[in-house]
Structure 1
Amino acid sequence: MIVAKRHIEERYEKEIDAPVIIDMLPSSEQAEAARRWQELERRTNKKGLTNSWTWIKTWLDYHGPLLAYSFIFGQHNDQTIGAALVVQALYKRKGMPIARIHIGTGKYVEYNRLLVVPGYLDSFATELVKTVQYQFRWSELHFDGFVPEHANALLKVGRDAGLRFQVEARKSPIFDFQRASDDGHQDVLSALSKNTRYHLRRSSRLFEKTFGPVTVEWAETPEQAKAILKELIDLHQTRWTQVKHRTGAFDKEYLKAYYAGMIDTLKLWPQGALIVCRVKAGETTLGCLYHYVEDGHIMFTKGGIAQFGDAKMKPGLIAHVASMEEFWKRGLAEERNRNRGLSKYDFLAGDEPYKDTLTNTQGSLIWATAERGLLLWLMRQASRVKNRIKA
């Protein structure tokens, strides 16, 4: 018995000490990557939205033709223990082409994370960073919108390998429904500050007097969600191009198609991971909102807000609070039916002042960039010389 136990312990130690081996698949082998990725999803108990194959595949359907990408799998004792998407992009800085690498689906993803079996995060991150460092040509390496646990694992490995990162931790303002309830509040409005409540009530009265009662239209079908998305895009582009004089988030047709495609693939909550809604006063639209949902965590992603030319009318604040009230109510209904409810409303990273007025806590997400190569070094030196001359 003692000998048998020793053999088991030796075999276990050998398995733990066995290295993680990286297997890299090109974009042409997406079918095989899908099989392995989905198999790993079934084996992991802890997964998110942005590292799911449904998310990855939909993103690649619309962005993939414009980029180069590879699938990275970590193998340990002939078992897949980790997966990551590596995206290669080319952009110009001061007219010079710069090669850029992203881990995950591009630079706008938030709550980014690796897909990895619990206990293997550090070992997979180690081999992933080594692979990116030595197997890819790049001048910039980006970790975009990562959850702190995964960002810290990647950053430690990168620093140990000699990479120097510029790291930015951005707050993600959140309204936590449970926290509000624990503080004795039964609705969103009562949990906000006195000043915010005043402006919201005044604005609501103005909208109701001018147009009619404020209501929330909740998309129950893909067709309804796409109709709301269409108006959202129109409102968003009008505001960003005419008021802010910027291009907006939907300036290309493939981006419009991408968000519509997500409605089909992610499915609508509670069966799926997407909520699309429109807030009206009477028959007049105040705003259209598009959200992802991950385990009850609502992530506000895109919005289109109408413009009224009256500073006392606050359509954006009314649209968010009316939606949040509806989410809280529907989440509680799901919980009463012993289903997963909706726990918090996350405005994601960004320093817009309105976010702080509508939240009661915050999370943190990490962005990091490493640079290497002579070209970027020369560009930095030239910039320093130029600044000295100006001074």
Structure 2
Amino acid sequence: MQTRTFEDPSHLATLEQEWTALWSAARGSPAKHPSWQRAWWNAMGGARATEIGGARELSGIEVRLDDGALVGLALFVRRPVLWDPGPRVRLDLIGSGEAISDEVCSDYAGILASPGHEGAVAGAIAKTLLEWRSRWDDIVLPSVSEHDLASRALAEALIEGGCAVSMERTGVCPYVALPSSFDEYLSLLDSDRRYYVRRSLRDFESWAGEPPRLVRADRDEDLREGFRILEQLHGERWGDRGLFRSDRFRAFHHELSRQWHRGDGVHIDLSWLVARERPVAVLYSFVSDGILSFYQAGRAVDLPNKIRPGLVAHLAAIRRAIEEGLREYDFLEGEAQYKQKLMTAQRSLLTIRAVRGDVRATALDAAAVGARAVLRAVLRLSSGAAGPVSRPREDVVPSSAR
């Protein structure tokens, strides 16, 4: 295998066709799609990096077979961070590492590798990263799926190269493995949750005077209207804590919507629940490979207490997803009550952190050590595992969990 590194963001455009083909072959998540990562760079790449300043720098690694075929890709953002015992340089996986107001939540992020080449690609990327030792102190890969063989293999390869590496379970993604009918879905819920769902639907229908009705943005003008509703209802629900206050966050999603509205391996599903002649809830999701990934929402806050428009909107979307033949409804990261009420299963998200072996660092606290031990057990039990997570070498001290 051969590797090539690049730092010029304009190079991403030249990779577009084979990058998209690699993403498709790997059945990548929306957050690994070229459109997601390029939109993120366009929105975030020119901003100040941290409190101590310094511009973001793109650091890309291509992995190719001897015949030139692209089989792996890793995109990092190099930036200075303020960290005990002083300023450090961190490589963040592209799509992550921002302040809360700008964070786009790239769930199921990670490196991209062609099926069957995960271990070799990870090894090649690790070798390049280790050759770059003088250019970074820490590497952070957040929100990695527990089933991401390539990213987990990268952790193993960095350990072999002398880095201190931790793998922590930092979140869960509840989801519904969609059955053949909505009634069958209801039968998968325990009796308490099934009663809660049916009561919520009855209360809503009694108040609205009709069954739940979702309107989907199919045309360009519908999409603009959908985003207006989303920003309005999201703002009503969350106020000053709402995500759409950030110009960069909005710029990211507006560019993404232009790319994905008509489909590019992924398409946007922006739908709102209508009752009494007005939108009362809105769902913003992405659909690819038979999976609907719910991303963001908003709901009216001036309805009677027993009316649950957000939950009812999800139920209507689940029913429609079943009717359209999708295979999964993924709520993405979070343990909100409504997700727990509607899910039928969940998967873990991991954060992988690596520290250069020659960097003076502080020890991981006891909680992080315990979390890593739990993850070793989880990974050993996972199907298709890349192998247990090794302990760092005794002469390498891992960094503190951030």
What's the TM-score bracket when you normalise by the shorter of the two chains?
0.7 to 0.9
Which amino acid is 1:166 matched to? S
Which amino acid is 1:350 matched to? G
Of residues 84-93 and 300-309 in structure 1, the stretch that sits farther from structure 2 once superposed is 84-93
Residue 190 to residue 226, structure 1, CA distance change in 2 (3 Å): farther
Residue 61 of structure 2 is aligned to residue 72 of structure 1: yes
Partner of 2:343: 359
Q: State the Cα deviation string for residues 65-104 of structure 1 (Å, max 9, x = none).
A: 2232122112332513322211123444589654321234
Aligned match for 1:120, one of 110, 117, 122: 117
State the SS of the aligned residue for 1:285. strand
Partner of 2:319: 325
Of residues 307-316 and 78-87 in structure 1, the stretch that sits farther from structure 2 once superposed is 307-316
d(CA) in 2 for partners of 1:268 and 1:193? 38
Aligned match for 2:38, one of 40, 57, 62: 57
d(CA) in 2 for partners of 1:167 and 1:94? 21
Partner of 1:295: 289
Partner of 1:131: 128
d(CA) in 2 for partners of 1:69 and 1:349? 26
d(CA) in 1 for partners of 2:334 and 2:63? 33
Residue 358 of structure 2 is aligned to residue 377 of structure 1: no
Contact 1:218 1:276 in 2 (8 A): yes
d(CA) in 2 for partners of 1:112 and 1:322? 28
Residue 41 to residue 201, structure 1, CA distance change in 2 (3 Å): closer
Runs of at least 5 residues in structure 1 that lack an aligned partner in the other structure? 1-19, 333-341, 381-391
Measured after TM superposition, the shift of residue 355 of structure 1 is 1.2
Contact 2:166 2:354 in 1 (8 A): yes
Contact 1:237 1:250 in 2 (8 A): yes
Measured after TM superposition, the shift of residue 297 of structure 1 is 0.9
Residue 293 to residue 308, structure 1, CA distance change in 2 (3 Å): same
Contact 2:173 2:333 in 1 (8 A): yes
Rg larger in structure: 1
- Aligned residue pairs total 341
Contact 1:41 1:47 in 2 (8 A): no
Partner of 1:306: 300
Measured after TM superposition, the shift of residue 299 of structure 1 is 0.7
Measured after TM superposition, the shift of residue 277 of structure 1 is 0.6
Measured after TM superposition, the shift of residue 374 of structure 1 is 5.8
With normalisation by structure 1, the TM-score equals 0.77
Partner of 1:142: 140
d(CA) in 1 for partners of 2:363 and 2:25? 47
With normalisation by structure 2, the TM-score equals 0.75
Measured after TM superposition, the shift of residue 252 of structure 1 is 0.9
d(CA) in 1 for partners of 2:91 and 2:7? 15
Partner of 1:167: 167
Residue 181 of structure 2 is aligned to residue 204 of structure 1: no
Please list every run of at least 4 consecutive aligned residues from structure 1 whose deviation after the TM superposition is greater than 6 angstroms.
none
Measured after TM superposition, the shift of residue 123 of structure 1 is 1.9
d(CA) in 1 for partners of 2:132 and 2:206? 64
Contact 1:279 1:323 in 2 (8 A): no
Contact 1:21 1:74 in 2 (8 A): yes
Q: State the Cα deviation string for residues 331-353 of structure 1 (Å, max 9, x = none).
A: 13xxxxxxxxx111001122223
Measured after TM superposition, the shift of residue 275 of structure 1 is 0.8
Contact 2:19 2:34 in 1 (8 A): no
Residue 280 of structure 2 is aligned to residue 279 of structure 1: no
Which amino acid is 1:349 matched to? E
Which amino acid is 2:46 matched to? P
Residue 11 of structure 2 is aligned to residue 26 of structure 1: no
Aligned match for 1:82, one of 54, 59, 72: 72
Partner of 2:371: none
d(CA) in 2 for partners of 1:190 and 1:308? 32
d(CA) in 2 for partners of 1:99 and 1:200? 49
Q: State the Cα deviation string for residues 337-383 of structure 1 (Å, max 9, x = none).
A: xxxxx111001122223212101122333222234576753998xxx
Contact 1:175 1:344 in 2 (8 A): yes
Residue 316 to residue 141, structure 1, CA distance change in 2 (3 Å): same
State the SS of the aligned residue for 1:216. strand
Q: Which has the higher helix share?
A: 1
Partner of 1:177: 178
Residue 286 to residue 204, structure 1, CA distance change in 2 (3 Å): farther
Which amino acid is 1:159 matched to? I
Measured after TM superposition, the shift of residue 185 of structure 1 is 5.5
Which amino acid is 1:103 matched to? L
Contact 2:174 2:345 in 1 (8 A): yes
d(CA) in 2 for partners of 1:240 and 1:133? 43
d(CA) in 2 for partners of 1:88 and 1:139? 10
Aligned match for 1:260, one of 239, 250, 254: 254
RMSD (CA atoms): 3.0
Measured after TM superposition, the shift of residue 296 of structure 1 is 0.8
Of residues 288-297 and 219-228 in structure 1, the stretch that sits farther from structure 2 once superposed is 219-228
Residue 352 to residue 168, structure 1, CA distance change in 2 (3 Å): farther
d(CA) in 2 for partners of 1:41 and 1:225? 24
Which amino acid is 1:377 matched to? T
d(CA) in 2 for partners of 1:251 and 1:140? 30
Runs of at least 5 residues in structure 2 that lack an aligned partner in the other structure? 48-55, 98-104, 366-402
